[in-house]
Chain A
């Protein structure tokens, strides 16, 4: 019996997945554990493994295709069966009689003929010298839906340069697009400013052959990660939130980091690691903050799993330090470094970025003084960290210069009140202003 291979649910929040690439092709023998394909979920790219042996009979969702969870992606048959491609058509499309297929074919042929009729330019227009291309305006413009004529080289170049062929005017016979047309178009594109409205640390790829453009700008297809962020943030925005900001003195943390550096240790904890560590201890000490609001109840978690946001060129991901309250500062530093490396390599496994109970987000590195974050449901709190700055403060009637850092808590007001949030922040501050307590325990 052939087995249907369906789109797996690779994370709790995954609704659709994208096949990045099939690693097996139709007719290939498959062993349990073999990687069949790479699938991009809303958070990461993961390997889709075979659980049983067989022959890959048919691929229904090709590389680059998207399918909802549970949709059949491919059919696996017993060893010895023949790929569906080489079986008669009637076997594959039982409901469709050959007669109707023939009719369809005829209709299609007629459609093509019709389009080609519109397409063929007058004979004299075909003779265009590439030397005079630049000033020729009567090159053929095709209907967007009609077949595009392009030389094989032009097709390859278009794919490499991300040129949308429907936008290119061909200068060859019958409007064939040739290399020169692609190169000219790509050059022109380069000189035109990119129509992006949302600033982004790394500009996304603007053009790929699939991306259509509209009159007001380039349409960027949503990646799995981007649509997940959009969905989660919209959900989080529905949460009745309040924010609390506190200014924390960081001189002691900075001193310890200096000493740590002098010791020549390979991994020196970052400010973020200190915050992770302080927050995890604070959550342990103040479990009222380590909660999630449910319809008729509030869950108070036993474990402290702190996630931290990592900005990637293609979006945002939040790897988790599990049981962070039970881990030493250097352990946290070590682990966070590994997770960041993995995140950039797109190698994070689903279990490494889900299941957190609290999140921190740090834009200090990018010189942000203070900001507010949106809670990441179902969590009830998120801490936004600003940069460590030199500040003038008045202490006991004296003016002093100190290293200081703003932290801003956003909390779900259904589960947490302002005073609770303030108390929690006070504990975080205590740990950060006396970091020896983070090292000694």
Chain B
């Protein structure tokens, strides 16, 4: 088993899929000659040539539309958003065409489109470029939404996303690109819609995905020192959601804390919270807690930014509150 960064794992996933299927191609801003704004597509232009690794102008609505058209005629485009903050410009193509084409054509057109890129805050990117936008996509039937947290999951799920005949929104994180982890050698995929227990525990279930998993893991270490054992559930796919994995864990611990970087109102965590109370109500011994980014536009000031993002201390506090310790 090799130790890879998330960046290398994603690069491998795309290279392997492009090798495997000539219909797969990558398109986006700076993906080719610059080898990617975050170097995720390093070496792909040299290896597969300009027909399959295509640099675009700064026109998200335009090149997402090209992706939709290409998918309709049988290609398998990977559209890279430099950040999902820019995908806001492409929402009409994503929501009205990519998500609906298969349905509105009565199944005549598949939509094997993968839209991937950075989601969430990094460092001082300010109000417009720091947003966690998963809920913009999980809202719509016709879209699958994936937000992995470790290199193995990034690789296995990106490969599944590229092979899927529906539009998949694949959300990465700038601060995770250099995060290292073990990745199995050789060919493997991870099925969409299957979650993973990132840490087993007995006292409280913490549900998180993407970058927030690492916040939760750090909190688990701190809590362990106080004798509190938390179980961390990573759904990995937000839609379709592996809700049974969450329910089983909550049945065991009788408590749930949801950690997400997104804003609190109408978040994916809100939906998960609803489903927990609806399905395992009788197992809850405390109200469900949610840890979110603060309900404000992201401040540019780095101290304020730190305060606006969910931190380890916030997770610890919510876990303790659900255990009636504070």
Query: Chain A: residues with CB nearer than 8 A to chain B?
Result: 127-131, 151-156, 171-173, 178-179
- A residues in contact with B285, CB < 8 Å: 151-154, 178-179
* A128 touching B254, Cβ below 8 Å: no
5 inter-chain pairs at a CB distance below 8 angstroms, sorted by A residue, are A129-B326, A155-B282, A172-B324, A178-B324, A179-B285
**A-chain residues with CB within 8 Å of residue B223 when the two chains form the complex:** none
CB proximity of B282 to chain A, nearest CB, Å = 4
A128: B residues at CB distance < 8 A: 324
CA distance A131 to B324 in the complex (A): 9
The number of chain B residues touching the other chain, given as a range, is 10 to 19
Whether B48 sits at the interface, judged by CB under 8 Å, is no
Q: Quick check: A171 and B254 within 8 Å, CB to CB?
A: no
Which B residues are in CB contact (< 8 Å) with A156? 282-283
Q: Is the CB of A151 within 8 A of B286?
A: yes
B281 contacts A152, C-beta separation under 8 Å: yes
Known contacts A153-B254, A179-B254; is-contact A130 B282 (Cβ 8 Å): no
CB distance from B223 to the nearest CB of A (A): 14
**What residue of chain A has the Cβ atom nearest to residue B323's Cβ?**
A130
Residues of B with C-beta under 8 A to A171? 324
Does B283 lie within 8 Å of A153, measured CB to CB?
A: yes
Q: From residue B46, how far is it (CB to closest CB) to chain A in Å?
A: 59
CA distance A184 to B254 in the complex (A): 17
Mostly helix, strand, loop or mixed at chain B's interface? loop
Which B residues from 256 to 299 make CB contacts under 8 A with A? Answer: 281-286
Residues from chain B with Cβ under 8 Å of A178 in the complex: 285-286, 324
Residues of A within 8 A of B326 (CB): 127, 129
Residues of chain A lying within 8 A (CB to CB) of residue B254: 153, 179
Nearest 3 interchain pairs by C-beta: A153-B285, A156-B282, A179-B285
Main DSSP-derived SS at the A contact region: helix
Known: A153-B254, A179-B254. A129 touches B282 (CB 8 A): no
Bound complex: CA of A131 vs CA of B325, how far in Å? 8
* Residue from A153, A155, A172, A173 whose CB has the most chain B CB atoms within 10 Å: A153
Tell me the complex Cα distance, A171–B286, Å.
12
Most central of A130, A152, A155, A173 by chain B CB within 10 Å = A152
Task: Give the nearest-CB partner of A155 in chain B.
Answer: B282
State the CA gap A179–B252 with chains docked (Å).
Answer: 13
Least Cβ–Cβ distance between A22 and chain B, in angstroms:
21
A154 to B324, alpha carbons, bound, how many Å? 14
Q: How far is the CB of B257 from chain A (nearest CB, A)?
A: 15
CA distance A201 to B325 in the complex (A): 46
Contact B284 A153 (CB under 8 A): yes
Task: List, in ascending order, chain A residues with CB within 8 A of B324's CB.
Answer: 128-130, 171-173, 178
Bits for B22-55, please: 1 = Cβ < 8 Å to A, else 0.
Answer: 0000000000000000000000000000000000
Task: Report the bound CA distance from A130 to B254 in whole Å.
Answer: 15
Query: In the docked arrangement, what's the CA distance between A179 and B323, Å?
Result: 11
Within 8 A of A (CB), among B227-278: 254
A152 to B276, CA, bound (A): 12
Max chain A C-beta neighbours (<10 A), residue from B283, B284, B324:
B324
Flag if B284 contacts A129 (CB, 8 Å). Answer: no
A338 to B304, CA, bound (A): 81
Q: Which residue of B lies closest to A171 (CB)?
A: B324
A153 to B284, CA, bound (A): 5
Report the Cα distance A172→B254, complex, angstroms.
Answer: 15
Given A151-B285, A153-B283, A172-B324; 7 other pairs, CB 8 A cutoff: A129-B324, A130-B324, A130-B325, A152-B281, A152-B282, A152-B284, A153-B285
Closest chain B residue to A151 by CB distance? B285
Complex CA distance for A171 and B323, rounded to whole angstroms = 12
Q: Which of A129, A151, A152, A154 contacts B325 (CB 8 A)?
A: A129
Give the CA-CA distance A152 to B282 in the complex, in Å: 5
What residues on A are CB-neighbors of B284 within 8 Å? 151-153
Give the residue name and chain of the A residue nearest to B227 (CB): A131
Contacts of B286 in A (CB 8 A): 151, 172, 178
Residues of chain B contacted by A172 (CB below 8 angstroms): 286, 324
Residues of B within 8 A of A130 (CB): 323-325
Please give the distance in Å from B66's CB to the nearest CB on chain A.
Answer: 51
Residues of B within 8 A of A127 (CB): 326
> A154 contacts which chain B residues (CB < 8 A)?
285
Q: How far is the CA of A127 from the CA of B325 in the complex (A)?
A: 8
> Which of A131, A152, A173 interacts with B283 by CB under 8 Å?
A152
Given the complex, which residues of A lie within 8 Å of B282, measured CB to CB?
Answer: 152-153, 155-156
CA distance A130 to B326 in the complex (A): 9
How far does the alpha carbon of A131 sit from the alpha carbon of B326 in the complex, in Å?
Answer: 11
C-alpha spacing A152/B325, complex, angstroms: 19
CB distance from A170 to the nearest CB of B (A): 10
How far is B281's CA from A131's CA once the two chains are assembled, in angstroms? 25
Query: Complex: how many Å from CA A8 to CA B159?
Result: 68
